[in-house]
A and B are shown apart, each in its own frame.
Chain A
Amino acid sequence: MTSRELAQMIRADALRMTAATKASHIASCLSIADILAVLYSNVLQFRANEPKWPARDRLVVSKGHAAAIVYAVLARKGFFRVEELSTYTHDGSIFTGHVSHHVPGVEFSTGSLGHGLPVGTGMALAAQRMSTGHRTFVLLSDGELDEGSNWEAILFAGHHKLRDLTAIVDANGIQSFGTVSEVLELEPLPDKFRNFGWLVREIDGHDHAALRTALEPTPVNETRPVLVLARTVKGAGVSFMENELRWHYRSANPQELQDALAEVGAPS
């Protein structure tokens, strides 16, 4: 399966899961479909049958509300049976609405924003000092950068030259109450990270070739941590969900689900 095929497959999974339970955050899922697909197809070292394999690369998904598509990619990569996705947010299910470490393959539970980057920074520091050789990735949202805890971590990682730490910001430009520029302007974001001592790679977050290149390790003489600033479209892949704030909250009704699945090339 190519990363493009995987991305469309997990888009369809997330659409079905959120529609079935009338869950929020489908648009937040769709904007990271390509990032997750490339990470799990081409970048991360992992063993699906041994989720705690010590040499695995670490991925902390800090935007924990995009749980449906994270569970979907883990299922499609064989961490557990795809059928289990149908229990998402059901009574007694381990598949909570924000990512849970009780799910095989989920490195860390999140849900309150601004937690993942400090945790990933700790993992990267431990890896650096213990010379374990694995890489640490943190996937976070742009709106989440309002949280000051992130900037504490950004300051720390730059100062301590955590070269094996990669932050991927899903810059879809929309947060809970409006656009990022309306709520709390983040730009110029690349300059902010550069000024904190990071190497910035700004790309189209739906371009798989660009994602693969941006997520490659840096040259050996490069000491800075890496920001992959992935410019994305909230709701990407489903035309009527794209760049629409209401799809942060809404789930698809049966007709909308059928239309959306058709757009991502999945059987309804």
Chain B
Amino acid sequence: MRTTFIKTLMELAETDSRIWLMTGDLGYSVLEPFAARFPERYINAGVAEQNMTGMAAGIAASGGIVFTYSIANFPVARALEQIRNDVCYHNLSVKVVAVGGGLAYGAQGYSHHAVEDLAFTRVLPNMTVVAPGDPYETSALTKALVATPGPAYLRLGKAGEALVHSAELDIKIGQSITVRDGDDCTIFSTGGVLTEAVRAHALLAGEGINARVISMPTVQPLDSLAVVEAALRGPIVTIEEHGVGGLASAIGDALIDAGAPVHMKAIRLPQTPLSCAGSQEWLRAQYGVTAEAVVHAVHSLLAVPLIQ
């Protein structure tokens, strides 16, 4: 995803001189082409995320569209008040980009587990929060972020993610994508764990259960219409590489606001820090963010229908 991101950003920057890229001294072997092509719009702020984000607000207030780039929690949690006050309150076009969202840096330990970032960002004013599910979503949403004025958070995986979609997408911010169709239940997924949602679809299909899979690359503003429609059709299972406060919470909020039935289970990480090392796959399995967990949740929801 990070490769797709930088490639797309460079294409956009060729024709849009408002685009700047700042890094908190990370992105070795990724950002160099941008730095070489657009030196006047590239800044390595050093290992100083608060200043990077405040400066990005200052540049955006001068007409720029500024992407701030770092890994995991660093561009978000370290600079959260700058994002809140300087960027969001002033509704400035600063797009915070984190590489290694979720457990992509699983073996590196808790400091590098970005598992509360969606919760931190989705509650902020004027904020758009995007977690693409595959490289096609990354490319489409990077373009959409530039086309949409105002603050944003873009949560990326790392490199080498599988393609889930079969072709380039033309999607807007706030638009969900139906990846697989089915009438028995709906699986909502955000971010790179979309592959598990698709695998759950296949497992369920093997049992004769037709699950719809909807990718929700935009967590804020949420595609509430898709959520409410799914709730009226049947049970919902969500999956995300995140703890409480992310996609499931956003969907829950949308259902409550709409007065829709909440017949739903959330597949997500525990709030307790994951204190051991592990690959992304191992940690997903260990903490139950898997296709199998989705299948189990679907079984339990279908076994106990919602009391109408």
Are A152 and B48 in contact, CB atoms less than 8 angstroms apart? yes
Give the chain B neighbours of A118 by CB distance below 8 A.
Answer: 50-51, 53-55, 57-58, 82, 86
A220 in the interface (beta carbon within 8 A): no
Assess the A156–B81 pair: CB atoms within 8 A.
no
**Stretch of B61-69, B277-285, B298-306 on the interface side:** B61-69
Q: Which residues of A contact B (CB under 8 A)?
A: 101, 107-112, 114-115, 117-127, 129-130, 132, 148-149, 152-153, 155-156
Task: Please name the residue on chain A nearest to B58 by beta carbon.
Answer: A122
C-alpha gap A124/B62 in the complex (Å):
9
In angstroms, Cα B64 to Cα A125, docked, is: 11
Q: Is the Cβ of A122 less than 8 Å from the Cβ of B55?
A: yes
A153 contacts B86, C-beta separation under 8 Å: no
Given contacts A115-B54, A118-B50, contact A101 B90 (CB under 8 A): yes
Q: Would B90 and A122 count as touching, CB distance under 8 A? A: no
Extra contacts, 19 of them, besides A123-B58, A124-B58, A156-B46 (Cβ < 8 A), are A109-B85, A112-B81, A114-B50, A115-B82, A118-B86, A120-B58, A121-B55, A122-B54, A122-B56, A122-B60, A122-B61, A123-B61, A126-B64, A129-B40, A148-B50, A152-B48, A153-B51, A153-B54, A155-B51
B74-92 near A? 1/0 per residue, CB < 8 Å: 0000000110011001100
Contact partners of A112 in chain B: CB under 8 A = 81, 85
CB–CB A121/B62 < 8 A? no
Chain B residues in the interface with A (C-beta under 8 A) = 40-41, 43, 45-46, 48, 50-51, 53-64, 81-82, 85-86, 89-90
Interface of A is mostly: helix
Are B57 and A122 in contact (CB-based, < 8 A)? yes
A152 proximity list for chain B (CB < 8 A): 45-46, 48, 50-51
Which A residues touch B56, using CB under 8 A? 122
Determine the chain A residues whose CB is within 8 A of the CB of B89 once the complex forms.
109
Chain A residues near B51 (CB-CB < 8 A)? 118, 121, 149, 152-153, 155-156
Give Cα A120 to B40, complex, Å.
18
Q: Judging by beta carbons under 8 Å apart, are B59 and A123 in contact? A: yes
Query: Within the complex, what minimum Cβ distance (angstroms) separates B90 from chain A?
Result: 6
Expressed in whole angstroms, the Cα–Cα distance for A122 and B41 within the complex equals 12
A181 to B21, CA, bound (A): 40
A109 x B90 contact (CB < 8 A):
yes
Q: Are B62 and A126 in contact (CB under 8 A)?
A: yes
Q: Which residues of B contact A129 (CB under 8 A)?
A: 40-41
Task: Return 6 A-B CB contacts under 8 Å, by A number.
Answer: A115-B82, A119-B54, A119-B61, A125-B43, A126-B64, A156-B45
B50 partner, pick from A111, A132, A149, beta carbons under 8 A? A149
Of all A-B residue pairs in the complex, the 9 with the closest CB atoms, nearest first, are: A122-B58, A118-B54, A122-B55, A152-B51, A126-B62, A152-B48, A123-B58, A149-B50, A119-B58
Chain B residues contacting A108 (CB-CB under 8 Å) are 61, 86, 90
Q: Which residues of B contact A127 (CB under 8 A)?
A: 62
Alpha-carbon gap, A109 to B81, bound state (A): 13
A125 touches B55 (CB 8 A): yes
Give the one of B43, B55, B81 with max A CB within 10 A: B55
The residues of A that contact B48 with a CB separation of less than 8 Å are 152, 155-156
Give the residues in chain B near A123, CB-CB below 8 Å.
58-59, 61-62
CB proximity of B82 to chain A, nearest CB, Å: 7
Please tell me which one of the listed residues B40, B59, B81 contacts residue A122 in the complex, with CB atoms under 8 A apart: B59
B188 to chain A, nearest CB (A): 36
| Bound-complex Cα distance A114 to B82 (A) | 10
CB pair B46 A155 closer than 8 Å = yes
**A190 to B90 Cα, complex, angstroms:** 33
A119 to B90, CA, bound (A): 12
CB distance from A65 to the nearest CB of B (A): 14
- Contact (Cβ within 8 A) B59 A126: yes
A127 to B64, CA, bound (A): 11
Q: Are B58 and A121 in contact (CB under 8 A)?
A: yes
A234 to chain B, nearest CB (A): 25
Closest A residue, CB atoms, query B45: A156
Q: How far is the CA of A110 from the CA of B54 in the complex (A)?
A: 12
Q: In the complex, A110→B51 CA distance in Å?
A: 15
Query: Which single member of B57, B63, B64, B85 contacts A111 (CB below 8 Å)?
Result: B85
